[in-house]
Structure 1
Amino acid sequence: MKKVVLASLLAVAGAATVIQPCFAQDAPAATPAPAAGQAGGQVQMSADEYKAYNDADTAATPAAKAAGFEAYLKAYPNSAVKQDVLQKLMFAYSGTNDPVKTLDAADRLLQVDPSNLPALTFETYLRRTAADALTDPAAKTAALDKAAGFAQTGLTATKPQNMADADFQKLKSQATVTFESAIADDDMSKKDYADAITAINTEITGAQDATQTPGPVLQDVFFLATSYMNSTPPDYLNCAWYATRAAAFAGTFAPQIQPTATYCYKKYHGKEDGYDKLQALVKTSLTPPADLGTTITPAPKPADLVANLIATTPDLATLAISDKEFVLQYGKPEDADKVFGTVKGKSTQFPDTIVVAATADQLQVSVSDDAVQSKTADFAFNFATPLKTVPAVGDKITLTGTYASYTQSPLLITMSDAAVVPKKAPAKAPVHHTTHH
């Protein structure tokens, strides 16, 4: 869910900004000097070694720096400045946009310095990026687990002895955003929404300015909203707050976020009135006020709504399909049976259903807004004649069928005599004939 939906929003800020180049300047480094012995806090080296080091360090391009430092490490594998060289090599490969070689350098650096914060940040970010591109669920989860492991190590990394506390805290605060985001991504892949909520809250609290411009952190504000929505039980109020907050600062990407925001608001409040008040509130604070639950009143309980709907509807057959589903799911058995009796045996067409599960004999699809949002099936269409072409999960198709039966919890309405309505071919442009005189 989560990365496909807002990929363009993430791209606005650019992936390279997540790994701050200032790591290279702020991290502690040795100071080589061309002499024998050691004095004055400097690492002394021979003239030949110093030249090889200095030539690599002053090379004009990242590619030349990388080549120079690789040659230096080959010639001087036990160099006193090996840690410094590996770190510069890692940043040089990053400058060439080569994630494979950047990770290789980071791996070698961590063998020398297991708590190296820049290396752990590169490991986390690049491994997470590669994981998000995978389509096999098991492989993706395993890859995200590995990225999250580096992130957890990074969160507990200790300060190098020769680095000032202020400098280390600056680096740590920058890296924490990357670490917590990767941990949350791993949690969401395993549907551990409680831990995802904790991780994202920590992330955005430490990067509040970044929640007001399109980019990776604002994207995670949206994923915080969906984590609240997918929790058990769902927390629609917090979902509405953070999704509305994300939409408020997403600029041209707001239309991708707004449906989730309004959906959660309506699920909590029951209707859309007063939503403009929430839209104004989210612009003044990243986190919701303590009294938000009373400022925005919750909707009546489903059982109360069903009772009122039954009492105020003289002809239950006139109810909209969404209202009928609501009664079937939340009403008393006798009320649910009354409502289903108004449609049983009748044939209906359902446009733009979304396939959740498919065989040649049955399609399970999402029809209602709730089912679409939760990616669950609320209708099952049974075919008397097996389908020759079985739709793929996620396809949007139009179906016809006859109401046959239903189960109340979880709600699933079964349709018989189902058929797939073929898509209409696009209209052909009119042919203009030239009249010859």
Structure 2
Amino acid sequence: MRATTAILLLGTCFFVGIDCYPQESCSAYFASVKMEEVVKPFKSAAELAHHVLLITPSENWRHLVSGDVEFVLKCGSQQDAADLFAALRNTSLHLVDATIAEADQHFIRVRWDQPYRFDMPLTAYRFNFDIPLTAVPHPGEKVIIDGTYSSYSQEPFQINMTNASIHPVPPKPIIHPKQ
């Protein structure tokens, strides 16, 4: 069900060209195609976020991918964001290949770069550490990071995580071509 929801959300976002995040609208690339004939567009990003929650059973909200969580919390109505976060509070999140955007001894802010996401310069996830880090990662480094949903705010947009742990991404093995 999670994959179906993710595909629906991504497909809808692509064709609708939502401008919730600062990005160039997708509709500019498909000016020759009449979008009204292909997809009935949503009126707003909040309507799309609400639709995601409507088509996903509430017991599966905690299984939404982090990009969908960001979208609903940022672009959804206050009620939709509150309902989603009530389901997420105190659940864990595991991000692989997260990119460090900002870091110090007490917190790390990450971007989650995945090939199917739009170019969103969001750094919404802030992982707070109980014990100060001895080795602070540098911006741009790739890490594996875990944490527990703690709180969020829509303005400024931020998702706070507690009980954070961080691990370096293991290097990919070098494959030598056969001679």
TM band (smaller chain): 0.5 to 0.7
User: Per-residue deviation at 1:320?
Assistant: 3.0
2:55 pairs with 1:312 = yes
2:132 pairs with 1:379 = no
Q: Give the equivalent residue in structure 2 for 1:325.
A: 70
8 Å CA contact retained: 1:347, 1:401: yes
**Aligned residue type for 1:373:** D
Structure 1 stretch displaced more, 398-407 or 306-315: 306-315
Match of 2:109 among 360, 364, 368: 364
> What SS does the corresponding residue of 1:348 show, helix, strand or coil?
strand
**Aligned residue type for 1:420:** I
8 Å CA contact retained: 2:23, 2:120: no
8 Å CA contact retained: 1:354, 1:372: no
- Report the CA distance shift for 1:311/1:364 in structure 2 as closer, same or farther (over 3 A): same
- Report the CA distance shift for 1:396/1:310 in structure 2 as closer, same or farther (over 3 A): same
Identity rate of aligned residues, in percent? 27
Q: Give the equivalent residue in structure 1 for 2:165.
A: 419
User: Per-residue deviation at 1:361?
Assistant: 0.9
Q: Give the equivalent residue in structure 2 for 1:394.
A: 140
Higher helix proportion (structure 1 or 2): 1
Aligned-pair Cα RMSD in Å: 3.0
**Aligned residue type for 1:337:** A
> What SS does the corresponding residue of 1:353 show, helix, strand or coil?
strand
Alignment of structure 1 residues 10-409 onto 2, 5 Å: 234-237=23-26, 241=29, 292=31, 295-297=34-36, 299-300=41-42, 301-315=44-58, 316-367=61-112, 373-409=119-155
- Report the CA distance shift for 1:320/1:234 in structure 2 as closer, same or farther (over 3 A): closer
Cα distance in 1 between the residues matched to 2:67 and 2:84: 12
Give the TM-score of the pair, scaled to structure 1.
0.30
Q: Where in structure 1 do 4 or more consecutive aligned residues deviate above 6 Å?
A: none
Cα distance in 2 between the residues matched to 1:348 and 1:303: 24
Cα distance in 2 between the residues matched to 1:417 and 1:233: 31
Cα distance in 2 between the residues matched to 1:371 and 1:362: 24
User: Per-residue deviation at 1:394?
Assistant: 0.9
Q: Give the equivalent residue in structure 1 for 2:177.
A: none
Higher strand proportion (structure 1 or 2): 2
Cα distance in 2 between the residues matched to 1:321 and 1:339: 12
- Report the CA distance shift for 1:391/1:294 in structure 2 as closer, same or farther (over 3 A): same
User: Per-residue deviation at 1:237?
Assistant: 3.8
Give the TM-score of the pair, scaled to structure 2.
0.68
- Report the CA distance shift for 1:415/1:422 in structure 2 as closer, same or farther (over 3 A): same
Cα distance in 2 between the residues matched to 1:321 and 1:329: 12
8 Å CA contact retained: 1:367, 1:378: no
User: Per-residue deviation at 1:425?
Assistant: 6.8
> What SS does the corresponding residue of 1:335 show, helix, strand or coil?
helix
User: Per-residue deviation at 1:354?
Assistant: 0.8
Q: Give the equivalent residue in structure 1 for 2:17.
A: none
Residues matched between the structures, number: 146
Higher relative contact order (CA closer than 8 Å, sequence separation 6+): 2
Task: Give unmatched runs, 5+ long, in structure 1.
Answer: 1-231, 242-277, 279-291, 428-437
> What SS does the corresponding residue of 1:405 show, helix, strand or coil?
strand
Cα distance in 1 between the residues matched to 2:172 and 2:47: 47
